[in-house]
């Protein structure tokens, strides 16, 4: 209750600013290159390498903090999306406003995978993942999404296609503006109940 921001009993405004900058830079660097060194991150943050070690005991903790920040930022941004109504349209909305975010976190996730214990990552992803799973489940209940494949698989396909789109953009074979449409068209078709079962 005492401190709205953090649990630390006392932290100078100067330090807060540095930590902010470091975390910000860490997310940026690690999203570009999962093997980014502490020196790189420090330079990108506009601080000395030693300063980084002053706030984070080691590289692993820094990566953890960066991932945590990226996840909660994304989570907050997605809260605005309306997930009610036709699940298909809701899915399209969700894709439209989140696919880029998810694909950017991909490299950062790889960075985390090299350093963090396995359980930690799944722990941080529990929140956002649940949101999508609920939407898919609802679509299945309403009969607009297929039930012959597990929900977890469908969610996985969603991730894969988004990441694939990011790769295509990186490779210059796809433009940013077309991506969302392609992803939506692909996933809606993949999620739809198979024709054979619809007729029966």
CA distance 89 to 99: 15
Q: How far is CA 5 from CA 2, 11, 39, 56, 190, in A?
A: 9, 10, 27, 18, 44
Q: Which is nearer to its own copies, 33 or 58 (by Cβ)?
A: 33
Q: Specify whether the CB–CB gap between 169 and 151 falls below 8 A.
A: no
Q: Which stretch binds its own copies (CB under 8 A): 75-83, 97-105, 127-135, 168-176?
A: 168-176
Q: Which of 5, 7, 173, 200 binds its own copies (CB under 8 A)?
A: 173
Q: Is there binding between residue 15 and DNA (CB under 7 A)?
A: yes
Q: Which stretch binds DNA (CB under 7 A): 6-14, 78-86, 121-129, 135-143?
A: 6-14
Structure tokens of 125?
Answer: 């992803």
Q: Which of its own copies, DNA, none lies near 161, with the C-beta cut-off 5 to 8 A by kind?
A: its own copies
Q: Which of its own copies, DNA, none lies near 24, with the C-beta cut-off 5 to 8 A by kind?
A: none
175's torsion region: left (phi>0), alpha (psi -120 to 50) or beta?
beta
Residues 93-152 that bind its own copies (CB under 8 A): 146, 148-149, 152
End-to-end CA distance of the chain: 60
**DSSP count for the chain of H helices, then E strands:** 9, 0
We find the least distance from the C-beta atom of residue 176 to DNA, in angstroms, to be 30
The footprint of its own copies (CB under 8 A) covers 146, 148-149, 152-153, 156-157, 159-161, 163-165, 167-168, 173-174, 182, 185-187, 189-190, 192, 194-195
């Amino acid at each position: 209750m005492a401190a709205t921001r953090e649990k630390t009993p006392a932290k100078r405004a100067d330090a807060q600013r540095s930590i902010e900058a470091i975390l910000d830079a860490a997310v940026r660097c690690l999203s570009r290159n999962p093997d980014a060194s502490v020196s790189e991150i420090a330079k990108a943050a506009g601080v000395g390498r030693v300063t980084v070690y002053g706030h984070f005991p080691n590289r692993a903790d820094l990566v953890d903090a960066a991932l945590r920040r990226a996840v909660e930022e994304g989570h907050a941004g997605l809260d605005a999306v309306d997930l009610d109504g036709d699940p298909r349209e809701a899915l399209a909305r969700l894709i439209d406003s989140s696919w880029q975010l998810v694909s950017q976190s991909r490299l950062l996730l790889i960075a985390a995978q090299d350093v963090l214990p396995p359980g930690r990552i799944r722990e941080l992803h529990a929140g956002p993942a649940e949101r999508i799973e609920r939407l898919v489940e609802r679509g299945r209940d309403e009969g607009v999404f297929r039930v012959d494949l597990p929900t977890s698989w469908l969610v996985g396909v969603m991730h894969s296609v988004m990441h694939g789109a990011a790769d295509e953009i990186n490779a210059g074979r796809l433009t940013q503006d077309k991506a969302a449409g392609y992803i939506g068209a692909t996933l809606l078709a993949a999620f739809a109940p198979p024709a054979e079962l619809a007729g029966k």
